[in-house]
Amino acid sequence: MSQLITAGQASKFTSTDFLEHAKGLYRVTFKKLASMDEYFAVYTASTYSSLGYRPFGGSFFTQTAKFVYDGFGQEFTEDLEASCTCAAREVLINLIDRIRKELKKLNYDSTTILHQLNYVIAQEADDIDRSPRFNRTTNSTSSLPFLNTFRKLFLFLFLFVMFLTRSEYDRGVNTFSPEGRLFQVEYAIEAVKLGSTSIGIKTSEGVLLAAEKRSTSKLMVNDAIEKISKVDQHIGVTFAGLIADSRTLVERAQIEAQNFWFTYNRKIRVEDVTQSVANLALQFGDDDVKASMSRPFGVAMLFAGVDQEGAKLFHLDPSGTFIDCKAKSIGAASDGAEQNLKEQYHDALTIKEGLKMALAILKQVMEEKLNSANVEVVVIKPTVDGNGRPIGDFTRVSNEELDQVISSL
């Protein structure tokens, strides 16, 4: 690769310096490393230019070189334009060769994007008319509309680095990245944070669920919003994330509970219900044929209940992982709520104390003022069934009781 400054120039600024500086800026800005050195220089410079930096003249390559020189505190003069432009063009030419090889490995047709890059290299309004390969009047199939802007180059480079570093691994839900990550599952976990906050607390007298009911309009009927569903008489579930996804999972839990009752004539364990829903979450769909083309469920759930083993609380995330918890929070304000739970929770909590704690935490983390209209609470206490076996009793806390507790906070 040619030098950015000729040997007779005092600064001795080489293309290696160019690339090293660009790589440093790239690491700081994007925290990702591409697989080719040439890419760093052009991508970093075009990124900086696309943000509105117009350091020198109208040439993209001159702007690129000026940007790098300024970063090193070097004086940039018009005399350096020719050598810098030559070096920048060589960077792009090498980039084209690398892109062609990468796309060939992946069996992608590279003709169109390579033509675009070649066109940009031929570049700029005054150069295009003088370039026989990129004459505007040609009817060749390889000619493209006039690309007199580095923003289009930046867009291509941005998409290309995403393709190399992440996008080729996040298109399929079952494709691991080289770092061992499933990006689609990670995106689904992020979707959970868009939902309203829910809290589950296991106490010495049973277990409770408290959930924020987020109303997006004054015209909505609050009673129509249900954040806590009844799975069976002894099990309840709340969720955070995509409501449509939660319906599928709640329905699976309810069907599993009823099938177990009809088959064995006894109530299903809370863990078994959670396991069944986790199996569905791992399939990324309720149809085995379509599973490979579906996506992860963008919802996390808290299953709470009382069975033969006592009070239980399980947290299930979009990856299909479920964990037995003493207390747990999910949703938009889960981080703050979780911290409060860690500080205040103890094993001797009563239902009344747990209810007061849950509402106090929701009051602290909710954007709206806490009242009985925008919160929902379910308590599940131990009882016995008709055969004398221990089981839970699903009970919704009334608005009057909620108002009484909220007023005491």
Q: For residue 285, give the CATH number of its domain.
A: 3.60.20.10
Together in a domain, 79 and 24: yes
Tell me which of 104, 136, 171 is where a domain ends: 171
Sheet holding 327-330, edge to edge: 327-330, 198-203, 206-212, 375-384, 390-396
Together in a domain, 310 and 376: yes
What is the C-alpha to C-alpha distance for residues 111 and 178, in angstroms, rounded to an integer? 28
What's residue 90's pLDDT?
59
What's residue 220's pLDDT?
77
Together in a domain, 292 and 382: yes
Measuring CA to CA, how many Å separate 127 from each of 67, 88, 176, 205, 296? 22, 15, 45, 81, 50
What is the C-alpha to C-alpha distance for residues 207 and 392, in angstroms, rounded to an integer? 9
pLDDT string in tens for the chain (409-residue length): 333 333 333 344 444 554 555 545 444 443 333 333 444 444 444 444 443 333 333 354 555 555 555 555 556 566 555 555 555 555 555 655 665 565 555 554 444 444 444 444 444 333 433 333 333 333 333 333 333 444 455 555 555 554 444 555 666 777 787 778 888 888 899 999 989 999 999 999 999 999 999 877 777 777 778 899 999 999 999 999 999 999 999 999 999 999 999 999 899 999 999 999 999 987 865 555 555 547 889 999 999 999 999 999 999 999 999 999 999 999 999 999 999 999 999 999 999 999 999 999 999 999 889 999 899 999 999 998 877 888 999 999 999 999 999 999 8
Together in a domain, 115 and 208: no
Together in a domain, 231 and 322: yes
Does residue 145 lie within any of the structural domains? yes
Together in a domain, 254 and 133: no
Together in a domain, 124 and 262: no
Q: Domain containing 115: what range?
A: 15-171
What's residue 253's pLDDT?
96
Together in a domain, 34 and 166: yes
Tell me which of 144, 171, 198 is where a domain ends: 171
Together in a domain, 111 and 200: no
Does residue 317 sit in helix, strand or coil? coil
Does residue 333 lie within any of the structural domains? yes
Together in a domain, 123 and 92: yes
Does residue 6 lie within any of the structural domains? no
How many domains are there within the chain? Answer: 2
Tell me which of 171, 197, 232 is where a domain ends: 171
